Structure formats: C-alpha cells, structure tokens
Amino acid sequence: MSKVGYIDDDALLPAIGIEAGKLAVNVEIFALEESSIFVMQQRAPIVGKRAEKYASKIRVWVEKSGFKKVFLLSSLPADLRNDRLLSSNLNYSVAFTMKEGPEYERATDLGYVLTELGDIGDNGSPESVMEQEAIRSETTLLCRFLYKIFKESKISFQVFFIWCNEGNNINEALQMTSCVHAFIQGNKTQDIQINWKAPESWRMLMESQIQASMYS
C-alpha cells in the first residue's frame, strides 16, 4: 500500500517516530487503489474529552470521501472472555452496527463470534448483560463513539476485536489480518493462507527488551 495522506487534529497527542529524518504524524492514510481499499493508521492516543468530536469528524470525512464500508480494528483483554466468547478457536470477535445485510450474514457463515456494543437491552439474559457491560467498559472512547455515530449512518460499520494476552500478540494480530482479509474479499471460509509480514515496529514493541510503557 502507498501512503496518500495524513490527518492532523488537536484531539491526538503528538507522536514520535523511529525513522531518522522523517516526520512522524499521528494518523497516516494508505491506499490500495486497485482494490479501492484505504487504511487509516492511528499512532497516538486521544485526548479523552475530544474523542466524540474527533469521531464525528471521521464520520464526516468518510461520508464526503464516498466510502461505503468501515472496518475498525481494536483490541480487548483476553481475560474478559466468558464461555460463549471462548466457544470458538478464533482469537477475535466482531461487532456490527447493522444486524442484517450481506456483511452480517457473511460473519455468521464464517463462524465469527459476534459481540454487542450498543445500548444494553432490557430483554437480555443476566449473562449477556454482564458480557456486554464488561466489553463496553474496556473498549476505547473512540471505539464507542465511532460505533454510536455510525449506527446513525447508512454506512456499513464493523469493529473487529482481537483478544490480547500479556506479552507478544503478533501471531494473533496476523490471524486477525487474515480474518479481515477473508471478510473483505467475501470468502466463505478462512482456509486461504497468506504470508503476512509483521511491521518492524511491532517486533520492536513485542520482541525487544524496550519497555512497552515507552509507547503508551
């Protein structure tokens, strides 16, 4: 993918890069134009009180750019999983704003474990309410605001959560990459094997002796 732009907003804290002589920006935009796929990579945390306004700006940008689908990649602590969320050998879950349509049906066909980020319903079982409250408590402010804002939109919006343990999660991240690729390509199964290459920044963070707190 080629870098085609960046986003600068006062909702984001400044970023410091590792490449000498190159400007480090908070959010970079990459494109795979032959597939009409664009990736927004955020490298810095958000100022909490500005998260909702920032999420609204992202929706406006998405709508003005004519994007039809949005996939948000995020993470959750693995110890939140209950028996239902552990019922699959897949190390990720998906939350949809629309509970119908081809994307929702495809996720069901692929056997993805579905989660809920919306308002907790009155008719849910105690187990489902506890699960939903636990997930909502651990998602980022940006994730929750984006989910809420895009739920009011006609744009297809999905959140892919990877369940992270302490330590090195590179293999799990690559597994989720295959999951998202299969989903975007419309595959009926996830049997297609792709040799993904992890970014060097991941290996510096996960496999080196440098303290992870330096990146937070």
Whether residue 71 sits in one domain with residue 34: no
What is the per-residue pLDDT for 63? Answer: 95
Whether residue 19 sits in one domain with residue 64: no
What is the per-residue pLDDT for 14? Answer: 80
Whether residue 18 sits in one domain with residue 75: no
**Encoded amino acid at 130, one letter:** M
For 122-130, the CB contacts below 8 A with 24+ separation are 127/82, 127/84, 130/82
**Mean pLDDT (whole number) for 128-141:** 82
**Encoded amino acid at 208, one letter:** S
- Please give the model's pTM, rounded to 2 decimal places: 0.82
Q: Which helix (H) or strand (E) holds 115?
A: strand 113-115
Q: Tell me the two tokens of residue 172.
A: 């799990």
What is the per-residue pLDDT for 204? Answer: 72
Torsions phi, psi of 41, nearest 5?
-105, 115
Concatenated DSSP letters of 54-106? HHHHHHHHHHHHT--EEEEEEEEEGGG--TTTTSSS-SEEEEES-SSSHHHHH
C-alpha closest to that of 54 among 10, 15, 4, 96: 10
pLDDT digits (tens, 9 = 90+) for 152-167: 898 999 999 988 887 7
DSSP tally for the chain: helices H, then strands E:
6, 7
Domain that holds residue 75: 47-215
- Across the beta sheet with 2-7, the strand order is 2-7, 27-32, 37-42
Whether residue 128 sits in one domain with residue 196: yes
The total domain count for the chain is 2
Whether residue 54 sits in one domain with residue 39: no
pLDDT digits (tens, 9 = 90+) for 25-80: 889 899 987 888 899 988 888 998 999 999 999 999 999 999 999 999 998 888 88
Q: Tell me the two tokens of residue 28.
A: 């970079």
